[in-house]
Structure 1
Amino acid sequence: MLISEAEFGSIVSRYKSVLYLCHRNADPDAIGSAFALAGAFGGTVGAIDDLSRTGEALSDIIGAHILIDPSEEGWDMIVVVDTSVQLQLGRIQLARYGLIDHHQDEGLIREAEFYIQRPAKSTAEIVWKILKDNGRQPSREMALGLMAGIISDTGRFKRASAESFMAASELLEAGGFDYEEALQTLSVAPDISQRIAVLKA
């Protein structure tokens, strides 16, 4: 069932235990979006297999506690975030689930109990509209996570839309941070193999 952003709050409130599940090698868009949803509506953030390096850096900065490879059992509802196909979820078998995603793929929407899927440049933009339409004020960390998701998925605004810029402006104001601080959430030190390659070059 396709729902609007404004309907999300009333629907997700029907469930006592909610898992916001990110795809394998979870990136800042997935983590920032899931973290903001859990903070605004209650729930737990999980990810399949691992986090990307930038995703891990972001989660450390915003204080996101993420369950790696959570069981699909024991949740009243699993909301899959920023994920378009089952392959991205590894071995987990979804039974009762919702979906929030910006990719235009029908892989997971057919069996979803509810979904929000539209062509935004990032899932974070959709999640920001969900928060606004449900009257939820983000914490500084939630706003920072969403901002990082937009920066990451738009390639630092090289692929941004008008909605991306509008959401970014609103998040900067809501979170009380500047763009440079948001960029720092995506900074990761090169690993040892990268350092050796640079030295050899």
Structure 2
Amino acid sequence: MTGMKIKQILIESKKILLVAHHNPDADALGSMLGMYEILVHHWGLSVEMAVDGVIPSNLSYLPYFFLIQDGFRPERFDTVVLLDCGGWSRTNFFETDELNIDWPNNLIVIDHHATSAGTPGVHYIDTSASSTSEILWKLIKTWGLQFNSKLATCLLTGIMFDTGSFQHSNTGIETFQAAAELLASGADFSGIRGGLYVKKSQALLKLWGTALKKMKYDHKRKLATSYVSVQDFKRCNATATDLEGLTNLMSTIPDVKFALLLSEGENGVVKGSLRTEQNNINVKNLAEAMGGGGHIKAAGFTLPARIEVQGGAWRVV
């Protein structure tokens, strides 16, 4: 079994590095911090964590949050675990998934996204899971470990975030089973609720207001679109992580079949976030056509481009 093979690799490792995707969300952080709890406090292993980009400050209630680093020295680690991403390119630490160096000795990929990444190593991919945090819940049961409050808080955070608090179609029977067990194990539900849904910064609210004011509706395609420019981010004193959840809100408007939110980066890229609540629309196909990916109802892409505004219209150039 892949799960037991992963356990064997981990417990035989000398130094382990945990890495999540660039600009990590709550599932990426929840699964990574949960894995840290397992490796360090259950198995007594030597572990470090690293992510690139902006880390959402509203998730600072998570155990071990302040141990996350923004870089690493490869030669210090013999085993690497990639969480919530299918390859190195999604981490932003390397440009390609296939490294031209003899490192690391062991690479483990744990993800719930379908991927065609060329990253070598042991892959545990479960697209039926709501989140990488739910996959980790399954692995913990396979490994015969006991849940504690810290581990439960990390994993329930990831599950609640990726399911939109059990509203999205990726919510399954096992998702509820996992949530119930994690709550029974002492997950800090009040802290999770506050971090994910209650504590909204002024910067976030200003940015959302800016984007919603610009929103347009295409009656023919039943598409809601908006954009956020580099200047908007600066004016609102906001970051890209403050956009999390906005596309979901746009997709709930009556008669909207799917929503597209474009955001401009200072590094010469435009990111697109796609979301639908319709069962007969696959936004993943749209994202893949633009070189991106994701899920059937939630996907995204990144293009080397900028947003050009002329009058009341905008386009990506």
TM-score class, shorter-chain normalisation, is 0.7 to 0.9
The whole-number CA distance in structure 2 between the counterparts of 1:117 and 1:150 is 16
| Alignment of structure 1 residues 1-201 onto 2, 5 Å | 3-42=1-40, 43-51=47-55, 53=56, 56-64=57-65, 65-92=67-94, 95-96=103-104, 97-109=107-119, 111-112=120-121, 114-119=122-127, 120-159=129-168, 160-175=171-186, 177-178=188-189, 180-187=190-197, 188-192=199-203, 194-195=205-206
Q: In the alignment, residue 184 of structure 2 is paired with which amino acid? A: E
Write the distance in 2 (CA, Å) between the matches of 1:166 and 1:145. Answer: 16
Gaps of 5+ in 2: 41-46, 214-317
For 1:62, the aligned partner's letter is P
Letter in 2 for 1:133: T
User: How far did 1:17 drift?
Assistant: 0.5
Which runs of at least 4 in structure 1 moved beyond 4 Å after TM superposition? 196-199
Pair 1:106–1:193, CA change in 2 (3 A): closer
Return 59-68 or 155-164, whichever deviates more: 59-68
Q: Which has the larger radius of gyration?
A: 2
Q: Is the 8 A contact 1:22 1:82 kept in 2?
A: yes
Higher RCO (CA 8 Å, separation ≥ 6 residues): 1
More strand by share: 2
**Structure 1 Cα separation of the partners of residues 156 and 82 of structure 2:** 20
Partner of 2:258: none
How far residue 142 of structure 1 moved from its aligned partner, in angstroms, is 1.6
**1:39, CA displacement in angstroms?**
1.2
Contact 1:32 1:149 in 2 (8 A): yes
Aligned residues: 192
**SS at 2:185's partner residue?**
helix
- Shift, 1:197, TM fit: 7.1
Q: Quick check: 169-178 or 149-158, which moved more?
A: 169-178
Residues 108/22 of structure 1: CA separation in 2 closer, same or farther (3 Å cut): farther
RMSD: 2.4
Residues 108 and 158 (structure 1 numbering): CA distance in 2 closer, same or farther, change over 3 Å? farther
AA in 2 matched with 1:58: L
In structure 2, the CA distance between the partners of 1:194 and 1:139, relative to structure 1 (3 Å rule), is: same
Counterparts of 1:16 and 1:191, CA distance in 2 = 44
Higher helix fraction: Structure 1 or Structure 2?
1
Q: Say if 1:130 and 1:108 are closer, same or farther in 2 by CA, change over 3 A.
A: farther
5+ long unaligned stretches in structure 1: none
TM-score (norm 2): 0.55
Task: Call closer, same or farther: CA 1:193–1:130 in 2, change over 3 Å.
Answer: closer
* Cα deviations by residue, 1:75-97 (Å, 9 ceiling, x for unpaired): 01110000124331213375322
What is the TM-score normalised by the length of structure 1? 0.84
SS of 1:186's partner is helix
Query: Could you tell me whether the CA contact under 8 Å between 1:121 and 1:161 is conserved in 2?
Result: yes
In structure 2, C-alpha distance between the alignment counterparts of 1:150 and 1:79, rounded to whole Å = 19
- Are the structure 2 counterparts of residues 125 and 176 from structure 1 closer, same or farther at C-alpha, using a change threshold of 3 Å? closer
Provide the identity percentage: 26
Task: Determine the C-alpha separation between the residues in 2 that align with 1:62 and 1:40.
Answer: 12
Cα gap change, 1:73 to 1:49, in 2 (>3 Å): farther
Indicate conservation of the 8 Å contact 2:153/2:187, yes or no: no
After alignment, is 20-29 or 189-198 more displaced?
189-198
